[in-house]
Structure 1
Amino acid sequence: MADAVGNPIKDVYIALDAAVGRLLQQVGEETTVFVLASHGMGPHYDGTFILDDILRRLKNVKMPTIGNQVSQVLSSSWEQTPILREILKPLRNYIWKPLRNRFWKSDKPVREALKEPDNSSRKCLTIPNNDTYGGIRINLVGREPKGKINPGSEYEAFCQHLTEDLMAVVNVDTGKPLVSKVIRTADFYKGEMMAHLPDLMVEWNREAPISKVYSPKIGTIEKTFTGVRTGDHKGDGLVFAIGPSIQPGQIQESISVMDFAPTIASILEVPLTDVDGKAIEAFCGKVLINN
């Protein structure tokens, strides 16, 4: 296959490099140019797929006996028998999915729906968010139909204890914490749509694959990630800059993306107030870049 398709990634980089070169030919030496890759790339490791299992163990939520048995059989067969997935794929794609989309209005496969308990009996549960940050919804009195946690001190204490429990979970294969941090959504977002967001967001330690986790409270949970995504964005990006006020070299410290707008405004000598970032001095000619 390599002989047939060559190296597509290398070809893309060559094309991008050539495109940047053509742009640089159109500007003069007095022009400042930035080339920004806002984030990096790497392997996809996350624990969102195992988060609800952890919450069930922490809060000892019992699943219906019949649903539990059926879901275990389906989950085991589906995840551990590739040939079964291939045989059932036409049924899944051409019969089940259209019926589900038309009548059920749910994005959960049958095996997930069967093992769902009555969520109104739970104190917290996962809700769809994304792979990088798992989303946790607290079953709050006055907000949910059958709330279990009262607003105020009980809510605050519950979130604190849950955060501590999650931070105690480790990735068995590395011995390191599974969770980097647990974020209170209300600390970052405000407004009328807050009631639709998770209460807590779980940021995963994405240094290594996640398949087996442990803590004294939950014991050991082992589960296979069955998603199709193998790569993912990383938080660290890359920026190249050239211009009359910029000397060759490399900046040693990290730069926030919040700093680019004030930097560009400073270079253009345009006032820009009430912003979160600050001008990057090395790009504005005030501080030399370290070689």
Structure 2
Amino acid sequence: MRYRTLILGLDGATFDVIDPLVARGTMPALGALAARGVRARLRSTCPPVSAPAWVTFLTGKQPGKHGVFNFQNLDGRRYSGFSETLVNSSYFRGTTLLDHLGRASDVRSLAYRIPMTYPAWEVPNGVLVSGPPLPDRRRIHARPASVEAEIGTASPLSHDELSAAKRARDVARLDACNRFELDLLERTTRRYLEAGYELVVSFTGIPDTLHHAFWAFHDPRSPVHEPDAPAALRSIIPRWYEAIDATIARLLACCDDETAVIVLSDHGGGPAPVRHVNLNAFLRSSGLLAIAGARRAHLASGVRRLVDRTRHDLRGRAWLKRHLPERLQRRLRTLRNATGAIAWERTRAYAIPIFYPITGVWVNLAGRQPKGTVAPGAEYEALRDTLVRELSALHASDGTPLVTGVWRREEVYAGPHCAAAPDLIVETAPGHHGGFDLDHLVTDVPLTALRTINGSHTAEGILVAAGGPFRRGVVLERPELADVLPTAVHLLGVPLPDDLDGRVLVEALEPAYVAAHPVRRAAREGATGERVTLPADDEGEMRKFLRGLGYVE
């Protein structure tokens, strides 16, 4: 038997918000779904950020296999640690489980606004509506192209208008935008369910967007919490969780008991880090990193403070973007992140923050970096061994651990793209993220920065699933994001590709169903095409969205 499956993706949703609302009775739909099904804290990717996470969801593979580590991919050949262009769907399209499902069966699917799916591509037997980041968030980008006119306007606000509304704390405008987008999600999802599509996957980014901008109003423990802020602002996060729950309730009314319903998030949400752990300051004190001179380091510190102030001021940032040539803006970025103050020919290792709480440590490897100083082989491995030992022991002056884990990249990633990752992966302590200061091991995140981006991610999202063959009242032991779509494909009676990291969550399913429906495997058909670079104007608009969430500079 194959089960129609509805998957609802709630970007960044966390049980830390959901459970109190369920207990209060204001999220009854999700509470009831969990009570009659399974729930779990869902392990995200490393790092726990939407770019690799949603690609892992779509492909059933971890970043080492699909090759997406962040919105700007990692590049050890550059001392910035990142490529100059944004990742887009050409990195993986054609290799998703949606593509596999369409090639291997007659199942019709809808993928509605899942992140990283721009540009849209033709999915066999499927409809794909691209999700963020997008060059124009107001319009629908879809394949088949005829779907664009059928759905209509995607949002009432442009990137600039949404950013302005958040900065102005214009709750009425934000509420109207969220209402428009959530209603559109509901109408579109309902239309395809009623049309008989057997796999419908729909996405909203409302939770994550609100966490980044307004977590401080929700959380009294935040250093920038404002207890006297208007009630509409202090309640904006729980109010929209409750609104999403009401949407879930109406969509569940379209589903019978034989429909499998899965609600998930790609990562969790919580407070932004309030301190920087500046690993380059430690590497400098250990003699592994050298600066080009005190004057250059002082200049870098001054630029960092100046840019930190202006980048959180809309007029200041707009002036810089409008008047400074791109080459000079890149130069300022190298000074702000201190790479412009480092003497590379005398440096053996350096750190680049990736996304909270993950920082990458790169060995300055001869033959890879432009001015590499460490020989591949025994010297490289000996240096990694030393760094694992010493970074793992880092403590603050009061004895508090600053690092919760250090791993060689091959201990975290496997697959053809493992070599694209930093040589070491460092997880900093809760509330601490990598920074760029070259003089002090620990520094405070400026309050100006926290007032703009005061929420961030956690490594565990949510999973709630019920209906069809899902068991009742079961708590699963930390499944992975890569497991979700393989489970849905199995419920649809389709063999899985034989190259996945993810697995079918058989422990979530009734034993009788599992016994009667063993997991089947098949060789993967098709492959991704050539990677493309998007036009500069498109990337510029997409970066506005990403800057608004603190994902790129």
TM-score normalised by length of structure 1: 0.76
1:140-159 to 2 correspondences below 5 Å: 140-159=365-384
**3-state SS, counterpart of residue 269 of structure 1:** coil
Q: 1:3 to 1:283 in 2, by over 3 A?
A: closer
Partner in structure 1 of residue 323 of structure 2: 98
Q: Which moved more, 1:236-245 or 1:13-22?
A: 236-245
Deviation of the 1:187 alpha carbon: 6.1
Aligned 8 A contact 1:124 1:139 in 2: yes
Find out whether 1:224 has 2:452 as its counterpart: no
**3-state SS, counterpart of residue 237 of structure 1:** strand
Q: 1:91 to 1:35 in 2, by over 3 A?
A: closer
Q: 1:166 to 1:97 in 2, by over 3 A?
A: farther
Say which of 249, 260, 263 aligns to 1:35: 263
Find out whether 1:59 has 2:279 as its counterpart: no
Say which of 189, 199, 204 aligns to 2:428: 204
Q: How many residues align?
A: 275
Q: Which residue identity does 1:239 align to in structure 2? A: L
Which structure carries more relative contact order (alpha carbon 8 Å, separation 6+)? 2
Partner in structure 2 of residue 178 of structure 1: 403
Q: Report the Cα distance in structure 1 between the residues aligned to 2:336 and 2:485, rounded to whole angstroms.
A: 48
Deviation of the 1:149 alpha carbon: 0.7
Q: Report the Cα distance in structure 2 between the residues aligned to 1:19 and 1:96, rounded to whole angstroms.
A: 39
Q: Which moved more, 1:259-268 or 1:12-21?
A: 259-268
1:243-282 to 2 correspondences below 5 Å: 243-274=467-498, 275-282=500-507
Deviation of the 1:176 alpha carbon: 2.6
Q: Which residue identity does 2:230 align to in structure 1? A: A
CA deviation string 1:137-162 (max 9, x = no partner): 22212223332111111111111111
Aligned 8 A contact 2:288 2:347 in 1: no
Q: Report the Cα distance in structure 1 between the residues aligned to 2:476 and 2:264, rounded to whole angstroms.
A: 17
Q: Report the Cα distance in structure 2 between the residues aligned to 1:262 and 1:182, rounded to whole angstroms.
A: 28
Deviation of the 1:116 alpha carbon: 0.4
Q: Which residue identity does 1:66 align to in structure 2? A: R
Q: Report the Cα distance in structure 2 between the residues aligned to 1:61 and 1:6, rounded to whole angstroms.
A: 45
Deviation of the 1:170 alpha carbon: 1.6
Find out whether 1:135 has 2:360 as its counterpart: yes
Q: Report the Cα distance in structure 2 between the residues aligned to 1:49 and 1:176, rounded to whole angstroms.
A: 11
Aligned 8 A contact 1:47 1:131 in 2: no
Q: 1:268 to 1:283 in 2, by over 3 A?
A: farther
Q: Which residue identity does 2:345 align to in structure 1? A: S
CA deviation string 1:150-201 (max 9, x = no partner): 111111111111111111102445623424223326862655894x653222
TM-score normalised by length of structure 2: 0.43
Q: Which residue identity does 1:12 align to in structure 2? A: W
Structure 2 unaligned residues grouped into runs of 5+: 1-228, 514-553
Q: Report the Cα distance in structure 2 between the residues aligned to 1:115 and 1:267, rounded to whole angstroms.
A: 53
Q: Report the Cα distance in structure 2 between the residues aligned to 1:193 and 1:182, rounded to whole angstroms.
A: 13
Find out whether 1:116 has 2:341 as its counterpart: yes
Q: Report the Cα distance in structure 2 between the residues aligned to 1:192 and 1:3, rounded to whole angstroms.
A: 47
Aligned 8 A contact 1:36 1:240 in 2: yes
Q: Report the Cα distance in structure 2 between the residues aligned to 1:186 and 1:244, rounded to whole angstroms.
A: 37
Say which of 241, 244, 256 aligns to 2:465: 241
Q: Which residue identity does 1:224 align to in structure 2? A: D
Deviation of the 1:62 alpha carbon: 4.5
Q: 1:163 to 1:34 in 2, by over 3 A?
A: same
Aligned 8 A contact 1:181 1:203 in 2: yes
Aligned 8 A contact 2:471 2:509 in 1: no
Partner in structure 2 of residue 216 of structure 1: none
**3-state SS, counterpart of residue 154 of structure 1:** helix
Aligned 8 A contact 2:394 2:402 in 1: yes
